[in-house]
Chains A and B, each alone.
Chain A
Amino acid sequence: MGTPVCGRCGHKLASRDPLSLQRVWAFWLMGLICYIPANIYPMLSTQTLFKVDESTIIAGAVELAHHGAFGIAAIILFASVVIPLAKFWAVAYLAISVKNPTGVSNYRRQLLYEVVEYIGRWSMIDIFVVAILSALVQLKTLASINPGPAAIFFALSVIFTMLSAQAFDSRLIWDIQAKEKGRTQ
């Protein structure tokens, strides 16, 4: 009682971390900054017998679709374009909504937060694909695949957005309801 650390697990106690939102926005911005070069620079460079072929994330997916692998192209597009963009929007929306009340119910926003936290990690899939491909396809002169500079930016972007979502304190969503109830009583 009256101690600043949790008696059970020893973690520092704070009713609401006043810096929570600042950290959310800081990581969010870092993630967004890293996401731009991740889409401009090539993700993979494929060397076949006579030519070097460099492709960005989106170009790679389009190429897959040309080969007829629509399912895989959809997974790649979904994991590396749709999920990150949706995540930037969702985190920003949640962070703004705790300051300015919106019409969307708390439960809906809580659900949105859970989805963001759960699905954010899946963006790493493209990095792993690049890792597997560049380790596996090293066939001397015949063909070789090497990672491009976009890989590092993309990984950073995913890590920063994960940190941003973790920095968000989901209890802030419910504080508004508690405040409004207090006002009517």
Chain B
Amino acid sequence: MKDFAATDAIDMLDDLIVCPQCDAVFRLKKPKNGERATCQRCHKALISPRRNAGLHIIAVALAVLFLIIGAAVFPFLTIDAAGNKNAVSILDAALAFAGGPMIFLSLATAALIIFVPLLRVLLTLYVLVPVVLDRPHARHAIVAFRLSEALRPWSMAEIFAIGCAVALVKVSDLAHVGFGPAFWMFGILVVLVIAQDSFMCKWSVWYRLEHPRNS
């Protein structure tokens, strides 16, 4: 084994990439836009850059932000049976468990379908806007991005949407159910959230955070 000076070792580290899933080490060769680098051993996508991915993500994130706020406030579903009417918003649905020990469940549901997706969108904007504008990154951007990635599995908007479909079928023979504006907003929201996740290349974001272009 040859001994490397510490600086050599650090230079070499920049050329290496370790698969976060199976720990295999590869020599780094940045793929072109639209291509993807995958781990040879476990086939995880390591780097998948896209042209203008940052701009796309920001555009989608802004749309998601407004849709979440709209979907949370406007009536979501209305029900009508023999003259009794009821209209609920998503917040009402989340707070349905209020009362007694069920309050925990209320808070968890509200968090999973509204607050976690909302927080992820805000964190994404906070991290990516300076990066895309070629500014030095925002303060604590690194912590923010890490938090946003850690929250990913806890953002369950799309599952809630399927839950709606199931609930509708259950009620439909009991009463007449109508859709409020929030229902359609939420439908679009789900598609956008999935699109946003597929644009995001973690490696590229980390790389940009470490190497701002004009520094």
Contacts and interface: CB of A to CB of B under 8 A. Distances in A.
Contact of A138 (B86, B170, B210): B86
Given A139-B79, A155-B108, A174-B23, A133 B102 contact: no
Q: Is the interface of A mostly helix, strand, loop or mixed?
A: helix
Given A11-B146, A143-B174, A136 B42 contact: no
Contact of A170 (B10, B21, B177): B21
Given A142-B82, A147-B105, A174 B153 contact: no
Contacts, number: 144
Nearest to A154: B105
Interface string A145-185: 00100011001000100100010001101110000000000
Contact of A128 (B84, B142, B153, B159): B159
Interface in B6-49: 6, 9-10, 21-24, 41-43
B63 interface: no
How many chain B residues sit at the interface, stated as a range, is 35 or more
Q: Is the interface of B mostly helix, strand, loop or mixed?
A: helix
A129 B42 contact: no
A51 interface: no
A152 B102 CA distance: 7
A12 B61 CA distance: 29
Contacts of A131: 93-94, 96-97, 109, 163
Interface in A55-72: 64, 67, 69, 72
Nearest to A146: B96
A89 interface: no
A128 B79 contact: no
Nearest to B173: A67
Interface in B45-85: 77, 79, 81-82, 84
